[in-house]
Amino acid sequence: MSDCLFCKIIAGEIPANVVYEDDKILVFKDIYPKAAVHLLMIPKLHIESLEKLDESHNDLIAYMMLKLPVLADEQGLSGGFRTIINTGKGGGQEVFHLHIHLLGGKNLPGF
């Protein structure tokens, strides 16, 4: 997806503060952090949103879910953390490449 911001980050065309990468996912710091720790986890596969998932993505989504607490632990979030997936314009999604927000630490806003 040539016009996708997060695909450009995956391709290294736009810089990002990467904290974890493997063959399936990329995790980087949100450019406008809403808390002391605010990471974005994205699949390397371009998927627009949660609404575009199908059963072919089962393994990928399970992989991402299981990685979240590992990353939170590595970020020192022993007291807990928050995950958010905004879906569609009505859900506040601004970048249409599936991403999971991982938030925690000081300044975690109320919800």
Minimum CB distance to ligand 5GP smaller for 14 or for 59: 14
Q: Does the annotation count 46 as an active-site position?
A: no
Cα separations in angstroms, 22 against 31, 51, 52, 55, 68 = 21, 24, 22, 22, 14
Count of residues of this chain found to bind ligand 5GP when the rule CB under 6 A is applied? 14
Tokens of 75: 């970020």
Q: What is the pattern of x (binds ligand 5GP, CB under 6 A) and - over residues 12-51?
A: --x-x-----------xxxxx-------x-----------
Interatomic CA distance for residues 9 and 44, integer angstroms: 10
- H helices of 4-107, where? 5-10, 58-74
Total Cβ atoms within 10 A of residue 85: 13
Among residues 38, 46, 57, 99, the one annotated as catalytic is: 99
Query: Judged by CB under 5 A, which of 38, 67, 97, 99 binds Zn ion?
Result: 97
- Is residue 46 within the footprint of Zn ion (CB under 5 A)? yes
Quick check: 60 and 24 in contact, CB under 8 A?
yes
Query: Judged by CB under 6 A, which of 12, 79, 80, 92 binds ligand 5GP?
Result: 92
Active site residues per annotation? 99
Binding footprint of Zn ion on the chain (CB under 5 A): 1, 4, 6-7, 46, 97
